[in-house]
Amino acid sequence: MTDSSLLRIDGLSVDYSHRGGSAAPAVSELDLVVHPGSMTAVVGESGSGKSTTANALIGLLPSSARVAAGRIRLGEVDLLSLGTSGWRGVRGSQIGYVPQDPGSSLNPLQTVGKSVAEALRIHRRAGRAEARAQVIELLDRVGIDQPEKRADQFPHELSGGMRQRVLIAAAIALRPRLLIADEPTSALDVTVQKQVLDLLDELRAETGMGILFITHDLAVAGERADEVVVMQGGRIVESGPAGRVFSDPATDYTTRLIADAPALQTKARSVRAEATTESTDPFVSVESLTHVFDRTDDRITGIEGVDFTVARGTTHGLVGESGSGKTTTGKALTGFLTPQSGHVRIGDFDAAELGRGRPSRQRLREFRRTVQLVHQNPFSALDPKHSIRSTLTEPLRNFRLGDRASRPRLVTEAMDRVALPADFLDRRPAELSGGQLQRVAIARALIVEPELVVFDEAVSALDVTVQAQILTLLDELQRELGLTYVFITHDLAVVRQIADTVSVMSHGHLVDDGATEEIFTRPRSAYTRTLLEAIPRPATLSVASAPANNRPATPTLLTAAAES
């Protein structure tokens, strides 16, 4: 067999030995190939073994892990036979590594120039002056403006996207043949993600290096990779050319992943006629809401002049990237922050006034009952010391709802409403999964029969399949109880699934506002357009308008954006 491959993994198995002796295989019988100049993506949830695979490739498995079987060949070199010094020769010069979190992956006390030069210095490829020249060339290559100036800056002075470029520059300094990118864009905003992915594409086209791309994001894999390997529980579920895997998934698991992924979602929210008709008297009305923490140059931290309205019984999506001010808006809505100016009218309350004047305890209590907040991270939103029963009973007691006899029934009903079994009631938060905890948090919010529920990134921390379930649940509850939702998220695709109306925020300002479908099909602001364009879309899906397969045709966000 003629082998044009750059990296070839055959039957790799990795065990973690615990002191007890029982070895749970983290990776078993993995086969994988990366060709020069191409990208192979390994996709899977955490615990699927994808990161273990990456660590095995650069010989950085934790000491409790052991390669039980298999071969890893980089060109002619058998990587698994290398000793400590052999590995040192390969790392950096043959294999480059780009880590997940640009925030913690650069030495905070060292200028970025020195970080980029590190590989050159370690492998003694350049002296001090020579290294400097190369560093500037590299920084320039990865698209950093003013490379001379940037080289002398420290990581905390650069943005996340810039740091990731620096890390890429450092990884390619010695022109390695293979680049391992371990979730390189997961910590980045979607527009920055696009730029970094574009850079990786250019680099491999230019230098012919192969890239092994580890990701949890099916859409990114589908858009960029030549080959896709889907992993679950340490095993390969499916592998093949990206186009084939997406257009014709061979396994149920992959099919489900594609179906549950919001970005690849087929259906938009069913429009509710009565909800979208312009209500003369909106339930929530935010008027010139302003709360500025800090102002530098023309940028503000906080929010300024935010206006939007939400009709009773509908869902309003509040979308923006990190630092857009969406969380601050959410806090003002729920009365946890008293804005510097502006009004937040909810029913007959003004949340902005509650904090300013001295409202009666009774009034504040009524407001808290009317408006409930569901936090982003279900693991921190529930007191670890209290059982689920105690957590759900607490609001009933505080608001004097029901009595000693009826409360257990109310609690059981609340659990039933979020489809959790009643025997969870005596468990503690640590014994529940993230999805279950978020259901409990939703049950706690709904048990006081609020009228408005604000969700702050409430599904962002959840697995796609769980995310889909929660969104369906929320939809049902809204119909059943006539609730009004404000849904804060960075994820446009989620918004499209759940929201009737949308506001897009950027740097503390509201840049776009309107009915969801309208925003998606005819974005008014340039920023919204950039956001929509940055959403990764698998190539096969974007041309799927031709019904080439038996899956339902997929009008994706690309087609949505293209229509504009």
Partner 1 sequence: MSIVFTRGQGTETRRARGGRARAALSPATIVSALVLLIAVAWALAPGLFTHFDPNDGGDTPALLAPSLEHWFGTDQTGRDAFTRVVYGASQSLLAALVAVGVGLIVGTTIGLIAGTRRGLIDDVLMRLIDVLLSIPAILLSLSIVVVLGFGTINAAIAVGVTAIAQFARLARSQAVQISTSDFVAAAYGSGGTFFSVLARHILPNSISPVLSLAVLQVGSAILQISTLGFLGYGTPPPTPEWGLIIAEGRNFVATAWWLTVLPGLVVMAIVLTTHQIGNTLRKVTS
Partner 2 sequence: MILDTRYLILRLGQAILVLLLAFTAAFILLSLIPGDGVTARFADPALGLSNDQIAEIREATGADDSWWSRYVLSLTGFLTGDFGYSVQTGAAVSTIIAAALPSTAVLAASGFVTALVLAVIIAVFATFGPSTGPTARVRLVLDSVPSLFISIPVFWLGILLIQVFSFQLGVVSVVDPGPAEALVLPTLTVAVPLSAPIAQVLIRSITEVQASGFVKVTTAKGASELWILVHTVARNAVLPGLTIIGLVFGELVAGAVVTETVFGRNGIGLITAQAVTHRDNPILLAVVVIATFGYVIINLAVDLLYPVIDVRLRTKPSSASAGRALRIHDEPARRALTASAASVGVDLDWNDETKEKNS
**Residues interacting with partner 1, by CB under 8 A?**
19, 44-47, 186, 190, 216-220, 257, 260-264, 334, 336, 365, 368-369, 372-373, 375-377, 379-386, 394-395, 398-399, 430-436, 441, 444-445, 448, 460-464, 466-467, 491-493, 535-536, 557
Overall size of the chain counted in residues: 564
Closer to partner 2 by Cβ: residue 46 or 104: 104
Q: 297 contacts which partner out of partner 2, partner 1, none, CB within 5 to 8 A by kind?
A: partner 2
Contact stretch for partner 2 (CB under 8 A) within 72-80, 281-289, 326-334, 501-509: 326-334
* DSSP-derived secondary structure for 281-308: S-SEEEEEEEEEEEEETTEEEEEEEEEE
Closer to partner 2 by Cβ: residue 207 or 530: 207
170 touching partner 2, by CB under 8 A: yes
Three-state secondary structure call for residue 146:
coil
Minimum Å distance from CB 171 to partner 2? 8
Contact stretch for partner 2 (CB under 8 A) within 85-93, 421-429, 465-473, 500-508: 85-93
Write a three-state SS string for 116-128.
Answer: HHHHHHHCCCCCH
63 touching partner 2, by CB under 8 A: yes
Closer to partner 1 by Cβ: residue 114 or 194: 194
18 touching partner 2, by CB under 8 A: no
Closer to partner 2 by Cβ: residue 89 or 482: 89
Closer to partner 2 by Cβ: residue 104 or 159: 104
- DSSP symbol at 91: B
C-alpha 354: how far from chain center:
34
Q: Which position has the token pair 């407001």?
A: 367
Q: Which of 11, 75, 89, 552 binds partner 2 (CB under 8 A)?
A: 89
Three-state secondary structure call for residue 288:
strand
Name the residue among 340, 332, 378, 279 with its Cα closest to residue 486: 332
Q: Which of 8, 71, 73, 123 binds partner 2 (CB under 8 A)?
A: 123
| Crossing angle for the helix pair 407-417 and 388-398, to the nearest 10 degrees | 120
Q: Which of 11, 201, 293, 356 binds partner 2 (CB under 8 A)?
A: 293
Q: 190 contacts which partner out of partner 2, partner 1, none, CB within 5 to 8 A by kind?
A: partner 1
What is the total count of residues that contact partner 2 (CB under 8 A)? 43
C-alpha 333: how far from chain center:
24
Name the residue among 400, 437, 442, 452 with its Cα closest to residue 417: 442
Residues 151, 144: Cα–Cα separation, whole Å:
10
326 touching partner 2, by CB under 8 A: no
Minimum Å distance from CB 368 to partner 1? 5
322 touching partner 2, by CB under 8 A: no
Minimum Å distance from CB 293 to partner 2? 8
Cβ(552)–Cβ(517) below 8 Å: no
167 touching partner 2, by CB under 8 A: yes
Token pair for 62: 């934790």
Three-state secondary structure call for residue 466:
helix
454 to each of 70, 317, 389, 446, 519, how far by Cα in Å?
51, 10, 23, 11, 21
The residues, any chain, with a CB within 8 Å of residue 282's CB and separated by 6 or more, are: 309, 310, 311, 312
Token pair for 341: 């100016």
Q: Which of 105, 134, 324, 393 binds partner 2 (CB under 8 A)?
A: 105
